[in-house]
């Protein structure tokens, strides 16, 4: 095949540079090189026969050059196809990336919407649960508990069963009825002397709705203290609402600048037939530091404080009062009537607060408090002057109030017993 026959025979031109290169190769007179005739490029000079290659060598060179040209054209076409494919792939990648970003944004919105729906459903379920619980325990009030009277188990001590008298219903119904969750406000410095309860409630509700955390909370009612109109109690639907109001106090500054909110109210429950070993230290006079945690874990409630009620004696069992954080848990323990304390059964009753003689923690005397004391500091253990119990090294035990061989906080102190009897006598008059 001659170079002239190959000129333009099936080759694809791709660019001026490549066409020029191929044209130069195709216009080369390989046959002239083979026969030894001068080519167009070499007409200016003659070539001797001795300088020309052999016929077989020229044929091989011509064949190789033709193969190279053919492969070069194929590679060029392939490169162009690959470049087009790369461009299409890049465009597809950009489209998919854009679609993915839109999909992630849509997914985030869906997840946020699903989260809100889950919270709403959880709130509805909790509301239904509370309603069912209230209906099932509607008669489990303090008055009904007292109406049934105290239990008389075989293993309860005489002091445990006799410590809870059965009183007439009219004496307890007014103070033990079921009350909704509430907070107490001191509006003395809030300039609301002339405001009516309705106005106070409206201001409170407006302030709650102005805060993001409490905008869904509803105030169910307002009551004023009969002896002090500046003391107000606000009621709410659930304990969750009360918790929101207490933990987000932005509304207080908005509605009642200068007002104060009373701390969380604890709810006492009296417990009889309590083993001293379960709640008292080795000295049988002070409550263990972990008593609240243990009783709370045994009965699935939150116990804030445990206080021993029974007088010092050799008896193993006595009475205590436990203070719970939630009123619903206190009502539940009263309805159960039996709880676990140290693995043993104890019996719940309504706790009736009784006024007790006040003791000064400075001079250890009764009938006044520390901030009004003008006496010398005395030890609650040895009655020594000039030091406190935590720095006492004496082995002597002496009461600073009566001089007897007991601590100042001993409930068996004759001075304490005398003052307590006087207070109860005046109360019953």
The answer to whether position 118 is within a domain reads: no
Separation between Cα atoms, residue 186 and residue 191, nearest integer Å: 11
pLDDT, tens digit, 9 for 90 and up, residues 191-237: 877 888 888 899 889 989 988 888 899 999 999 888 788 888 899 98
| pLDDT > 90 in the chain, percent | 15
| Contact in structure between 135 and 339 (CB atoms under 8 Å) | no
Q: Are 272 and 331 members of one domain?
A: yes
Statement to judge: residues 35 and 84 lie in one domain: yes
- What pLDDT, in 10s, does the model give residues 100-159? 877 777 888 888 888 888 777 777 777 776 666 554 444 444 445 444 444 444 344 433
On the question of pLDDT at 46 being above 60, the answer is no
* 285 pLDDT above the threshold of 90: no
Summarize pLDDT for 12-40 with one digit per residue, the tens: 444 555 566 555 555 555 555 444 555 45
Name the H helices within 27-54.
Answer: 30-35
- Tell me phi and psi for residue 405, to 5 degrees: -80, 60
From 98, 121, 145, the end of a domain falls on 98
Residue 181's pLDDT is 84
Tokens of 121: 């459903």
Q: Nearest-CA neighbor of 352 among 111, 172, 188?
A: 172
Does residue 237 form part of some domain? yes
Q: Is residue 119 part of a domain?
A: no
Q: How confident is the model at residue 94 (pLDDT cuts 50, 70, 90)?
A: confident
Asked if residue 335 is part of any domain, the answer here is: yes
**pLDDT > 90? residue 299:** yes
Query: Is the model more confident about 264 or about 303?
Result: 303
Instruction: Check whether residue 277 and residue 303 sit in a common domain.
Output: yes
85 and 46 assigned to the same domain: yes
Q: Structural domain tally of the chain?
A: 4
Residues 6 or more apart whose CB falls under 8 angstroms from that of 406 comprise: 397, 398, 399, 412, 413
Instruction: Assess whether 12 and 89 both reside in one domain.
Output: yes
For residue 252, tell me if it sits in a domain. Answer: yes
Q: Is the domain of 39 the same as that of 87?
A: yes
Residues 246 and 272 in one domain: no
Q: What is the pLDDT of residue 273?
A: 93
Query: Are 345 and 388 found together in one domain?
Result: no
Please tell me whether residues 89 and 11 are part of one structural domain: yes
CA 294 – CA 302 distance, rounded (Å): 10
Nearest to 252 by CA among 264, 262, 240: 262
276 and 253 co-located in one domain: no
- Single pTM value for the model: 0.39
Which pLDDT belongs to residue 134?
54
- Mean pLDDT of the 161-174 span: 36
Supply the pLDDT for residue 164: 38
Match 């005739």 to its residue by tokens: 37
Q: Decide: residue 308, CB within 10 A, 0-12 exposed, 13-18 middle, 19+ buried.
A: buried
Instruction: State the first-to-last Cα distance of the chain, in angstroms, to the nearest integer.
Output: 140
Final residue before a domain boundary, out of 77, 98, 119: 98
What is the model's pLDDT at position 27?
55
Using DSSP, state whether 344 is helix, strand or coil: strand
pLDDT of residue 428: 67
Q: What is the pLDDT of residues 362-413, one digit of tens each?
A: 898 887 877 778 888 999 889 999 888 888 888 889 998 899 999 888 878 8
Instruction: Supply the mean pLDDT for the chain.
Output: 76
168 has a pLDDT exceeding 80: no
pLDDT beyond 80 at 337:
yes
**Which stretch of DSSP H or E encloses residue 275?**
strand 267-275
**141 in a domain, yes or no?**
no
Domain, as residue range, for 316: 267-349
Cα–Cα nearest to 408, from 420, 398, 419? 398
Residues 102 and 376: their CA atoms lie apart, in Å, by: 78
Question: Are residues 243 and 226 both part of a single domain?
Answer: yes
Lowest mean pLDDT among 21-25, 214-218, 240-244, 420-424: 21-25
Show which of 258, 293, 320 is a domain's final residue.
258
Residue at 148 is within a domain: no
Which CATH number fits the domain that encloses residue 339? 3.30.70.330
Q: Are residues 332 and 382 in the same domain?
A: no
Residue 129 lies in a domain: no
Tokens 């001797």 correspond to 48
Lowest mean pLDDT among 85-99, 165-179, 181-195, 224-238: 165-179
Asked if pLDDT for residue 76 goes beyond 60, the answer is yes
pLDDT at site 390? 80
Assigned token pair, 359: 């003791």
């Amino acid at each position: 095949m001659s170079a002239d026959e190959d000129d333009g025979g099936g080759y694809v031109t791709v660019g001026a540079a490549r066409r020029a290169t191929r044209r130069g190769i195709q216009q080369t007179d390989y046959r002239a090189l083979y026969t030894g005739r001068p080519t167009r490029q070499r007409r200016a000079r003659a070539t001797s026969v001795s300088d020309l290659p052999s016929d077989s060598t020229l044929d091989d060179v011509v064949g190789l050059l033709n193969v190279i040209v053919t492969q070069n054209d194929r590679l060029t076409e392939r490169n162009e196809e690959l470049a087009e494919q790369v461009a299409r792939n890049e465009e597809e990648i950009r489209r998919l990336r854009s679609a993915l970003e839109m999909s992630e944004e849509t997914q985030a919105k869906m997840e946020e919407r699903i989260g809100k729906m889950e919270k709403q459903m959880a709130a509805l379920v909790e509301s239904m649960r509370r309603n069912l619980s209230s209906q099932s325990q509607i008669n489990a009030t303090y008055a009904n508990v007292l109406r049934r009277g105290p239990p008389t188990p075989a293993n309860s001590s005489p002091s445990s069963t006799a410590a809870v008298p059965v009183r007439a219903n009219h004496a307890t119904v007014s103070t033990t009825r079921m009350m909704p969750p509430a907070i107490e406000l001191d509006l003395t410095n809030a300039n609301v002397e002339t405001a009516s309860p309705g106005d106070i409630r409206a201001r409170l509700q407006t302030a709650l709705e102005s805060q993001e955390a409490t905008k869904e909370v509803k105030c169910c009612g307002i009551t004023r203290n009969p002896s002090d109109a500046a003391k107000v109690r606000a009621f709410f639907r659930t304990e969750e609402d009360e918790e929101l109001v207490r933990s987000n106090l932005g509304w207080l500054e908005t509605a009642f600048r200068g007002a104060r909110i009373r701390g969380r109210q604890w709810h006492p429950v009296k417990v009889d037939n309590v083993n001293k070993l379960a709640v008292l230290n080795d000295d049988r006079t002070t409550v263990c530091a972990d008593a609240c945690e243990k009783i709370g874990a045994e009965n699935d409630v939150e116990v804030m404080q445990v206080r021993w009620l029974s007088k010092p004696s050799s008896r193993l069992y006595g009475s205590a009062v436990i203070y719970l954080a939630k009123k619903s848990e206190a009502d539940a323990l009263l309805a159960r009537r039996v709880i676990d304390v140290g693995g043993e059964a104890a019996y719940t009753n309504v706790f009736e607060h009784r006024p007790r003689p006040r003791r000064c923690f400075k001079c250890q005397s009764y009938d006044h408090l520390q901030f009004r004391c003008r006496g010398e500091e005395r030890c609650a253990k040895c009655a020594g002057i000039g030091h406190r119990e935590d720095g006492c090294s004496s082995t002597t035990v002496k009461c600073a109030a009566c001089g007897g061989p007991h601590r100042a906080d001993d409930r068996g102190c004759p001075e304490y017993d005398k003052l307590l009897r006087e207070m109860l006598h005046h109360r019953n008059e």
